[in-house]
A and B are shown apart, each in its own frame.
Chain A
Amino acid sequence: MSEQPVTYSASAEVGAVRKRRSRLERIGLLLKSAPATAWFGMIVVFFYICVAIFADLLAPYGEAEIHAAAFAPWGDEFFFGTDQIGRDVLTRLIYGARNTMGIALATTILSFLIGGGLGLVAAINRRWLDQALSRFVDVLMAIPSLIFALMLLSIFGSTITSLIIIIAVLDSTRVFRLTRAVAVNVAVMDYVEAAKLRGEGLGWIMRREILPNIMPPLVAEFGLRFCFVFLTIAALSFLGVGIQPPTADWGSMVRANASLIQFAKYDMTAAITPLLPAAAIALLTVAVNFIVDWFLHKTSGLRE
């Protein structure tokens, strides 16, 4: 305020003070500020991804290879013992990472393609299409998705393809709702109107004006939906109507070995065996949740 002459210079005006940083620097800074929980989450997820990718190298035996002894105890030959028909538990765990996570990821991506795409379209075209889609989604969401999934699986049968499609379609309703809600908030912005006034087409407006601005909530939602899908698939497999044997999968592994728990008094390691895949599921979802929690906190600013 000291020596400011009456002549006024627009470029000298003070904007928000923010240092420009390269993307790498920003990521570095972001990681530095990550809390312990987020670090824990990131390490776990990284570990899981490695296991899933290198399953073939890491697994001591073949995925469906059957050995002599059923329910063999933990030991050198079979690190976590064998299951009810004599397959190595460790091997099944490692392949299970790949199968369960892969299917869940494919389902989540599909559900985002369907729900996200339709949500964007509905947010821009706020007339009959929005009405029709929104009402349809309301109805679909009036049926609990696990129940709906059970019903559809009973009709189409439990193949991996039908599993992925059914869960993805059911889950896409939630993606649709969120995408539509955040996109509607962006679609009423003046810059979207400005683009319309300029004469831009729907494609440009969706891709260039709206999508970049709704990415943060969508990314967070992707994490949460992945967890949800992952748990749903695990639950279905556990119930015996999800991923079918001999494909290794954590949910069905729990069910198959559950009877071992009653032997806890005699052999603790045996009782823990069915809990291993369950713990693997829990650990991954906890980890993803921790990351999402941190991410949400970062992108929403100081909310509390």
Chain B
Amino acid sequence: MTDTTQSSPDFSNDILLKMRDIRIDGYSDEQWHPIIKGVDVTLRRGEIMGLIGESGAGKSTLGKAAMGYTQPGCKLTSGSILFDGVDLAKASDRDKRMLWGTRIAYVAQSAAASFNPAHRLIDQTVEAATRRGIRPDADSRTDAVELYRALQLPDPEIIGNRYPHQVSGGQLQRVMTAMAMSPRPDLIIFDEPTTALDVTTQVEVLASMRNIVEEFNTAAIYITHDLAVVAQMADFIQVLRYGEEVEAAPTRQMLTKPEMPYTKSLWSVRALEKPEVKGEDIVLSIDNIDAAYGPQQVLFDVSIKLPRGRTVAVVGESGSGKSTTARVITGLLPPLGGTVTFNGEVLPAALKDRSKEQLQQIQMIYQMADTAMNPRQTVEEIIGRPLEFYMGLKGKQREERILELLDMIELDESFMDRLPSELSGGQKQRICIARALAARPDIIICDEVTSALDQIVQEGILQLLLRLQKKYDITYLFITHDIATVKAISDEIVVMLEGKVVEQGLKSEILSPPYPDYTKLLLSSVPDMDPDWLTNFLEQRSD
């Protein structure tokens, strides 16, 4: 780390925030247990720090602690939080309130929930500045319009008169940045501000956030789990794991020469790439599918072919119809028109009309392993049920097969009688894979199976899926919005937009020019691990 030697003298006013030995405990299961275990943070004026880590690393808790705020159910047990000379760990509520919203501002992840539904956006934007009398209310309102303009919001003069539910998520996130910026704070905490957004929206929001923070020379702590995103924003990066600091270094150094094994492993997942193989034997094809939820049509003339033993990745943003396509294939959503053909025979449209054998051949793995397993069933019951149900295995045979499956997913006997709550995220997803494998399917539909997982775990799961494919000649339909994952696992790619297939072909064809417009936008919007990426992207676009 560049500047955190404990003894470094406080040589200037340059240092805005100095957190030392922060320890925070959380209360659950009837006891206090540590969430943050002694972390130091030093931030200079105008500097942007990236705080990255996986879910549960404590990054959000630490970010809020920088304001001297701990959520209900958490408590600061030790440490000092010197903000411009004031120790927020000891300051009274009143003193902290005087700083919050004026000198330290907060931008939350869920903009939709964080705006008060009863007030107009502009009233909420200027609220803090007006309350503390930073400038006359009318001036704040003029200023807010300028901020909206600077953040490239459409119709900056009138958008402030709208209510939160009247604007889109990406816009709301920018209004929240304007709200944070309105009193011209010294420090802004960005708490995963773009996580809930689609990639093409995310890039716009990132660009406008970065511009405005630079323009006013505001210091910021940018919290995220996405390395590529933080690379665009931060001057230096601090990596957190299990409430402890793993490594801290300037962005470029961190990206090129990570030191700790953990940090290195975070980087490696992006390097994974499966060599593509063309497949001729079509195991499943869907042809001219139209589908609707109620009166709203969501799929328009969708046709996709799955070659046996290959992976077809379906990419697209939320609402593009990729999950709906999966629902049509499984029979959960009978289509309005079109057919699903499996091994040469047309499958009945509705789930209830399909035979047990047909159901057995197409298995599914879900995004959230948490909700995909019954929390009241043990691993043995979860994996054992398809064995009983499809193959009628019982007793010893069943147990042997379960052990075999556990072995395939690199887990052992000791997992048999665990409940899902006693497994880690990666282990849960592995059990779900084992449940799918238990049916000995031809096809496994993977619906965003890695996107809820931490990066290091993602890699393990992807490699496992590839190994299984090789060994058992399984076909994957792999739904994802993440281009890195697509590169890692696919042979063929289908790009979807607004319920239509934009493009379909071998990975090498899709990922190289010439691109149709949308594919180009989609691919180019995904941040690289290059700190100059955003700058280049914006330059290219303005050409």
Contacts and interface: CB of A to CB of B under 8 A. Distances in A.
Interface in A1-51: 1, 4-6, 8-11, 13-16, 18, 20, 33
Max chain B C-beta neighbours (<10 A), residue from A8, A18, A191, A208:
A191
A8 B456 contact: yes
Interface stretch (A102-110, A176-184, A194-202): A194-202
A11 to B, nearest CB: 5
Given A6-B265, A13-B426, A190 B260 contact: no
A75 interface: no
Interface in B64-79: 72-73
Interface in B226-247: 241-242, 244, 246
B411 A11 contact: yes
A302 B28 contact: yes
B134 interface: no
Contact of A16 (B246, B422, B430): B422
B423 A15 contact: yes
A13 B424 contact: yes
Interface string B405-440: 000011110110010011110110010000100010
A8 to B, nearest CB: 5
B374 interface: yes
Majority secondary structure, A binding face = loop
Contact of B368 (A13, A190, A200): A190
B457 interface: yes
B332 A196 contact: yes
Given A198-B385, A198-B386, A302-B73, A10 B366 contact: no
A267 interface: no
A15 B424 contact: yes
A128 B221 CA distance: 52
Contacts of B241: 1
B424 A14 contact: yes
Interface residues on A, range: 20 to 34
B422 A18 contact: yes
A233 B393 CA distance: 52
Given A5-B261, A209-B374, A10 B430 contact: yes
Contacts, number: 101
Interface string B371-401: 1111111000000011001100000000000
Interface string B25-43: 0011110000000000000
A8 B422 contact: no
A189 interface: yes
Contact of B373 (A8, A11, A14, A191): A191
Contacts of A190: 366, 368, 371-372
A301 interface: yes
B356 interface: yes
A9 B409 CA distance: 11
A11 B412 contact: yes
B389 A200 contact: yes
Contacts of B415: 11
Contacts of B412: 11
A133 B392 CA distance: 37
A65 interface: no
B351 interface: yes
A6 B389 contact: no
Given A190-B372, A196-B351, A15 B422 contact: yes
A10 B409 CA distance: 8
A200 B439 CA distance: 14
A189 B410 contact: no
A138 interface: no
B364 interface: yes
B459 interface: yes
A77 interface: no
A4 B410 CA distance: 18
Contacts of B264: 6
A213 B364 contact: no
Contacts of A15: 418, 422-424, 427
28 contacts: A6-B268, A8-B456, A10-B411, A10-B460, A11-B411, A11-B414, A11-B415, A11-B427, A13-B424, A13-B457, A15-B423, A15-B424, A18-B422, A33-B30, A189-B372, A190-B366, A190-B371, A191-B371, A191-B372, A191-B373, A194-B372, A197-B331, A197-B359, A198-B390, A200-B389, A213-B374, A213-B375, A304-B72
Given A8-B456, A302-B73, 18 more contacts: A6-B264, A10-B410, A10-B426, A10-B460, A11-B415, A11-B427, A13-B424, A15-B422, A16-B423, A18-B29, A193-B332, A194-B372, A198-B390, A199-B351, A199-B354, A209-B374, A302-B28, A304-B72
Interface of A: 1, 4-6, 8-11, 13-16, 18, 20, 33, 189-191, 193-194, 196-200, 208-209, 212-213, 301-302, 304
Nearest 6 A/B pairs, CB to CB: A212-B376, A190-B372, A15-B424, A190-B366, A13-B424, A199-B359
